[in-house]
Amino acid sequence: MRKLIVGSRRSKLALTQSKQFIEQLKSVSEGLEVEIKEIVTKGDQIVDRQLSKVGGKGLFVKEIEQALYNHEIDLAIHSLKDVPSVMPEGLTLGCIPDRENPFDAYIAIDHVPLDELKPGSIVGTSSLRRGAQILAKYPHLEIKWIRGNIDTRLQKLQDEDYDAIILAAAGLKRMGWPSDMVTTYLQPDTLIPAIGQGALGIECRSDDTELLELLQKVHNASVERCVTSERTFLKEMDGSCSVPIGGYATEDDEGTITFTGLIMTPDGKERYECTKEGTDPVALGKAVSDELKSQGAYEIIKNLNENQ
């Protein structure tokens, strides 16, 4: 196998998960030589505004995809939730490895449980999806925007007026933070995860057969089926970072996938949710999308996208 050039964002988390995946590759390809090329994306450059305010799909991937087209890199290691549901022509997800914890981690001062926070308590998150679901269940709380890497957000929890923050559990685990710092991992009955949360998407050129063959050795077919149903739902609903949208799928030992899709208004006052089962992930994602559209959920997305 030739020497591989891996494209990665420059953030600590991106570089850490890239190195972890590279070790997986090396475990199945003895003597494999790999180099990481750091790439700054538009999403990395915008640190003073909510991502939902700057709009657009692929804020964290477009520059990396251009490097793939230019043959400057051979593959890119993305957090799958950052990857748009429609892949650019000539590029593909060569594999989806094992999924990390897909849930959201709730971290509170003095470990006060979410349902015990006093009225007016401030919960920090930069995610419309998280904010909408928290407000729907706990309307007496206040959501306050927070950006920055994991270290920055944890420091802001200590130094500023936040009572709690919510982060993706996968990022915390990949960065080696101890689980006892987490007050609780929020289950889907409280907070449905982002599409693809906890999963990685390994992107490469569609015609790179040698690399595609190697990537299949670390591919998890069950995870792929689950995230395919989630990403199909995202595509069918025309979801973006300006829309509170969530989705989570699991697969049992018999191959039946259970998928829940969610659409909400940012204030948490309107909620559309549907759960269905099936064995075809694409058909399942479409079925949940069709059901929510029939209930009127697409009007929320249409209005939010038009006002973006």
Rounded Cα–Cα distance for residues 195 and 205 (Å): 23
Whether 255 is covered by a domain: the verdict is yes
Clarify whether residues 72 and 213 are in a common domain: yes
**pLDDT of 49 strictly over 70:** no
Amino acid at 234: L
The per-residue pLDDT of the chain, averaged, comes to 92
pLDDT in tens, 135-174: 999 999 999 999 888 999 999 999 999 999 999 999 999 9
Clarify whether residues 75 and 215 are in a common domain: yes
User: For the chain, what is the domain count?
Assistant: 3
Clarify whether residues 113 and 75 are in a common domain: no
Strands 34-39 and 4-9 turn out to be parallel
CATH number of the CATH domain containing 248: 3.30.160.40
74 is catalytic: no
Clarify whether residues 9 and 68 are in a common domain: yes
Whether 192 is covered by a domain: the verdict is no
Structure tokens at 220: 């998890």
Clarify whether residues 81 and 215 are in a common domain: yes
pLDDT in tens, 83-118: 988 999 999 999 999 999 999 999 999 999 999 999
Clarify whether residues 92 and 108 are in a common domain: no
Clarify whether residues 208 and 241 are in a common domain: no
Clarify whether residues 17 and 79 are in a common domain: yes
Task: Write down the pLDDT at residue 226.
Answer: 98
Contact yes or no for 174/120 (Cβ under 8 A): no
Average pLDDT over residues 272-300: 97
Clarify whether residues 78 and 208 are in a common domain: yes
pLDDT in tens, 26-40: 999 999 999 999 998
Contact yes or no for 250/281 (Cβ under 8 A): no
Structure tokens at 302: 């249409």
Please name the residues in contact with 253: beta carbons below 8 A apart, sequence gap of 6 or more. Answer: none
- In sequence order, what E strands does the chain have? 4-9, 34-39, 75-79, 91-95, 104-108, 122-124, 142-144, 164-168, 184-186, 200-205, 245-251, 257-264, 271-278
Catalytic residue among 44, 48, 82, 267: 82
pLDDT in tens, 243-279: 899 999 999 999 999 999 999 999 999 999 999 999 9
**pLDDT of 55 strictly over 80:** no
Task: Write down the pLDDT at residue 45.
Answer: 53
Clarify whether residues 131 and 178 are in a common domain: yes
Taking the model in full, what pTM does it have?
A: 0.91
Clarify whether residues 10 and 93 are in a common domain: yes
**pLDDT of 240 strictly over 80:** no
Task: Write down the pLDDT at residue 57.
Answer: 53
Rounded Cα–Cα distance for residues 45 and 251 (Å): 37
Where is pLDDT greater, at 40 or 178?
178
Rounded Cα–Cα distance for residues 125 and 138 (Å): 15
Whether 278 is covered by a domain: the verdict is yes
Whether 164 is covered by a domain: the verdict is yes
Whether 124 is covered by a domain: the verdict is yes
Domain that holds residue 267: 236-307
Clarify whether residues 153 and 207 are in a common domain: no
Task: Write down the pLDDT at residue 58.
Answer: 65
Contact yes or no for 56/76 (Cβ under 8 A): no
Average pLDDT over residues 70-87: 93
Rounded Cα–Cα distance for residues 50 and 57 (Å): 14
**pLDDT of 228 strictly over 70:** yes
Contact yes or no for 251/222 (Cβ under 8 A): yes
Whether 41 is covered by a domain: the verdict is yes
CATH number of the CATH domain containing 18: 3.40.190.10
Task: Write down the pLDDT at residue 282.
Answer: 98
**pLDDT of 60 strictly over 80:** no
